[in-house]
């Protein structure tokens, strides 16, 4: 899941400065699950904004809506009837959702209310940990299910650097060395010979905006 966190209130306040009618839009999927931008958070943010406007001579008005996913046009269409009444949209979706919203409604400013932080897992209510950097060339099959790109501070693909220190990473004693973890996991599974496999340099040129078409849908895309 994509994990995000609410932007500091002051920053949001700055972002919406000058707009008289703001529509806050939540997303009912990833950011709802990580408790940053679902229907509840929309209500909370709007209450905060209303409170902060109390001292203004002409307080701004705030509306709210939450769609299933802001990264799907069909769901974005659902708020079309409301958008005309506002002069800015405050989106609580991840960066992708915000951009898609901006693309769908190009005539008014779409502003971010959250910071998109990472792709991660849910450890407990409100507690998330990063697990994948979407490098585009997944190594997990060889590395015992532990990501060297995310878990290694230097994103090394071929074993630890010289800083590996009794299970810890050199950046911090509390940070486990990814390659130590990989070694232990592979050993446990009797797959230690994997460790000798050399990865060619990752094609970081891939780190440009990407498009993915699932193989079964290529023809569908071509026909558009």
Partner 1 sequence: MTTKQQNQVEKIHLETTVAVIGGGYTGMAAAKTLAQNGYPVILARQENDGAWHDTSLTGLDGLKTLENQVADNGPIDILSQSTLIEAVGVPGDFTLTFMSEDRRVEKKAGAVVVATDLSSSPLTFIYGLTPCASVVSLSELESLLASETGQKEIGDKKKTIAFLVGFAHEGNPLLMQRVLESVRKIVEMDGCTAYVYVNNLKVAEDGLERLYKQGRDNGAIYFKLQTAPTVIQNNGDLRITFYDPVIRNNIELSPDIVVVEESLVADQQNISLAEILRIDLGPAGFLQKENVHRLPVNTNREGIFVVGGGREIQGLSKSLADVDNMLLQVRQLIGGGEKTVAAKAVVDREKCTICLTCYRCCPHAAIYWDDKAVISPAACQGCGICASECPMDAIQLTDFTDTEMTSRIREAAAAETKAAAPKIIAFCCQNSAFEAGTAAGLFHYDLPAGLQIIKIPCAGKVDINYILNALVEGADGVIVMACHTGNCKSESGNTYAKWRINDAYRKLEQIGIPKNRLEFATLASNMASDFARIVIDMEKRISQK
Residue 112's contacts (CB-CB under 8 Å, 6 or more residues apart) are 7, 15, 90, 91, 95, 98
Position 121 contacts partner 1 (CB under 8 A):
no
Which of 65, 108, 132, 192 binds ligand SF4 (CB under 6 A)? It is 132
Q: How far apart are CA 67 and CA 93, in angstroms?
A: 10
Q: Which does 88 bind (CB under 5 to 8 A by kind): partner 1, ligand SF4, none?
A: none
Position 49 contacts ligand SF4 (CB under 6 A):
no
For the chain, what's the residue count? 224
Which of 24, 63, 97, 144 binds ligand SF4 (CB under 6 A)? It is 97
Position 63 contacts ligand SF4 (CB under 6 A):
no
217 sits in which H/E element? none
Collapse the DSSP code of 79 into the 3-class scheme (helix H, G, I; strand E, B; otherwise coil) and give the result: coil
Q: Quick one: which of 30, 34, 37, 27 has its CA closest to 7? A: 37
Q: Quick one: which of 128, 152, 100 has its CA closest to 4? A: 128
Position 30 contacts ligand SF4 (CB under 6 A):
yes
Position 43 contacts partner 1 (CB under 8 A):
yes
Position 147 contacts ligand SF4 (CB under 6 A):
yes
Longest dimension (CA), the chain: 71
Binding site for ligand SF4 (CB under 6 A): 2, 27, 29-31, 69-71, 93-94, 96-97, 132-135, 138-140, 147, 149-150
Binding site for partner 1 (CB under 8 A): 8-10, 28-29, 32-33, 35, 38-41, 43-44, 47-48, 50-52, 54, 65-66, 122, 124-125
């Amino acid at each position: 899941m994509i994990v995000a966190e609410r932007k500091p209130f002051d920053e949001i306040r700055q972002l919406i400065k000058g707009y008289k009618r703001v529509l806050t839009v939540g997303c009912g999927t990833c950011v709802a699950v990580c408790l940053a931008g679902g229907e509840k958070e929309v209500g909370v943010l709007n209450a905060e904004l209303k409170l902060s406007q109390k001292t203004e001579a002409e307080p701004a008005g705030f509306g709210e809506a939450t769609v299933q996913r802001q990264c799907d046009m069909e769901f974005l269409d659902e708020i079309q009837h409301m958008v005309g009444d506002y002069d800015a949209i405050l989106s609580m979706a991840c960066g992708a959702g915000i951009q898609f919203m901006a693309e769908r409604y190009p005539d008014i400013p779409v502003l971010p209310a959250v910071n998109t932080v990472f792709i991660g897992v849910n450890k407990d209510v409100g507690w998330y940990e990063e697990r994948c950097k979407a490098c585009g060339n997944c190594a997990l099959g060889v590395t015992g299910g532990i990501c060297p790109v995310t878990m290694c501070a230097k994103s090394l693909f071929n074993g630890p650097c010289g800083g590996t220190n009794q299970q810890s990473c050199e950046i911090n004693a509390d940070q486990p060395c990814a390659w130590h973890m990989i070694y232990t996991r592979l050993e446990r599974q009797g797959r230690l010979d994997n460790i000798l496999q050399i990865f060619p340099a990752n094609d970081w040129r891939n780190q440009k905006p990407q498009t993915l078409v699932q193989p079964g849908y290529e023809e569908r895309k071509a026909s558009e």
